[in-house]
Structure 1
Amino acid sequence: MSSVWHITDLELTIRILLAAGLGGLVGLEREWSNHAAGLRTHILVCIGSTAIMLLSIYGFSEFVNEPQVRVDPARLAAQVISGIGFLGAGTIMRTGLTVSGLTTAASVWVVAAIGLCVGAGFLYCAVLATVMVLLSLVVLNKWEKYLMRNRRTMEVVIKIVDKPGVLGNIATKFGENGIHIVNVQMNPDGMTEVDGVLEAVVELRFSLKASQGETLIKALDTISTSGHILSTESKTFSMVSGSRKSSRHAVG
């Protein structure tokens, strides 16, 4: 029987540990950025794909010399690539016009590929891929935010008492802070009691462009203290009845 179908326990252990380390590096960045799939998820995916790759290559070595058996080391690995999609899809969320979790889904998928490389003994490729993934997640992320700072839209939801002039006042406050309104949707949102009188509530969903996040915060600070404003919410924070409340959400 050819030695190509055999692996020592030591080498197998090294590959599993290396997979845990490489997957953990990517997962640590996701964990640090407060995303849905973090350190443990990425480690488990990388170890799992490595184990499946090892099984696919070395797990059936005793059948290699059987006359009616054809060994395909890539067969189980192919199932990992197609099957990991369900886990990545679980990290993708859509809130209104905003889709988040795409980067984390991609990182889970690429960690599975790194694990397959480690399991197959393609160690240089695994390490190189890990380095490139970390560069993409850390360095390119900052560069992308800098380049796209004036092009990306932010979604803000403001609930108001349906009174004349309230929407115009909000639009004026955005304009004074250099914030461009791309789109606005108005949806009825029930009734509320104001000074003993039932008033209609309207939800305003704005798509905005701002050069800096600080300008949006400043504008919402001003708007939240205006009359007939019930609450303001954005992707990164919310203010209810004029008082700010931290509201962090996962973004790819």
Structure 2
Amino acid sequence: MGTQLAMWGWQALYLFEALVLSTAIGLERQAKHKDAGTRTHALVGVGSALFVIISKYGFMDVLSADVHLDPARVAAQIVSGIGFIGAGVVFTQRSHVRGLTTAASIWMTAAIGSACGAGLFVPALVCTILYFLAVTLLPFLTRIIAPGYGNDDMLRLRYRDGHGILRSILSVCAIHGVSVEGFSTRKSKDSDDEEPGSRGHVVSADLEVRGRDSKALIGDLSDIDGVISVTRINNND
């Protein structure tokens, strides 16, 4: 009985470590306002750990001279099964693929949870640390080594229609050396979108810009006569 209690205690510890490490990854994703946040990553990590525990201990009562089990078979299905969840956060927006980093984080969380379920405390902890180094340090190094690479921003502009403002917007982008990768506009007839005393429709435009820091660009776009507002939309994976 004492041996059984000790085994249960270790199993509970495996699950708790999986919860802590996977929640830490989920907090980082949620802080960046991603759909897959703390709850998703925590459930993936703990679920993966439980599957590994089931693989190791769940069938011990049926073992006999005529029954042989492969404890890796259930755990192996985690690798392929987690792809369905990862695919759910990947989508295409104006010919650009989004959500790959979040999908990869879910996949890595499953691996970390599996390591916890197998009792591999140190590899699970090290991989969690490496994850945070990858998502924080690598973008910083990229900006140093290749300035301008990966500086993608989605800007949302609201301006009055019928004044040639769109040409001015594109001209300012060209002056700043910024490439407009995607562009879409929509008109609004809502009275809330109209400026007091303005005539015509207010246009809401989304610009996907690439090439440089957009802070100065936002300032110059805001100074264009007829532009009502310029806001940055979170566009990280």
TM range (shorter): 0.7 to 0.9
Alignment of structure 1 residues 31-42 onto 2, 5 Å: 31-42=30-41
Partner residue, 1:213: 214
Partner residue, 1:138: 136
- Indicate conservation of the 8 Å contact 1:7/1:58, yes or no: no
- Indicate conservation of the 8 Å contact 1:179/1:208, yes or no: no
Greater RCO, 1 or 2 (C-alpha within 8 Å, sep 6+): 2
Q: CA deviation at 1:8?
A: 0.9
Q: CA 1:94–1:159 in 2, change beyond 3 Å: closer, same or farther? A: farther
Are residues 1:10 and 2:9 paired?
A: yes
Q: CA deviation at 1:49?
A: 0.5
Task: Give the aligned CA root-mean-square deviation in angstroms.
Answer: 3.3
Partner residue, 1:87: 85
Are residues 1:28 and 2:43 paired?
A: no
More strand by percentage: 1
Using structure 1 for the length normalisation, give the TM-score.
Answer: 0.73
Q: 1:195-219, CA deviations, whole angstroms, 9 ceiling, x for partnerless residues? A: 79766x8776544334223113212
More helix by percentage: 2
Distance (whole Å) between structure 1 residues aligned to residue 128 and residue 78 of structure 2: 18
| Bigger mean CA offset, 189-198 vs 17-26 | 189-198
- Indicate conservation of the 8 Å contact 1:179/1:209, yes or no: no
Distance (whole Å) between structure 2 residues aligned to residue 34 and residue 164 of structure 1: 36
Q: CA deviation at 1:33?
A: 2.9
Percent identity over paired residues: 30
Alignment of structure 1 residues 152-231 onto 2, 5 Å: 152=150, 153-156=152-155, 158=157, 163=162, 165-176=164-175, 178-183=176-181, 185=183, 189=187, 206-223=207-224, 226-227=225-226, 229=227
| Bigger mean CA offset, 137-146 vs 76-85 | 137-146
Q: Which runs of 4+ in 1 moved over 6 A?
A: 190-197
Are residues 1:74 and 2:34 paired?
A: no
SS state at 2:33 partner: coil
Q: CA 1:132–1:192 in 2, change beyond 3 Å: closer, same or farther? A: closer
Distance (whole Å) between structure 1 residues aligned to residue 13 and residue 108 of structure 2: 20
Q: CA 1:196–1:37 in 2, change beyond 3 Å: closer, same or farther? A: closer
- Indicate conservation of the 8 Å contact 1:155/1:234, yes or no: yes
Q: CA 1:42–1:64 in 2, change beyond 3 Å: closer, same or farther? A: same
- Indicate conservation of the 8 Å contact 1:157/1:234, yes or no: yes
Q: CA deviation at 1:160?
A: 5.3
- Indicate conservation of the 8 Å contact 1:173/1:222, yes or no: no
Structure 2 gaps of 5+ residues are: none
Distance (whole Å) between structure 2 residues aligned to residue 233 and residue 135 of structure 1: 29
Structure 1 gaps of 5+ residues are: 237-248
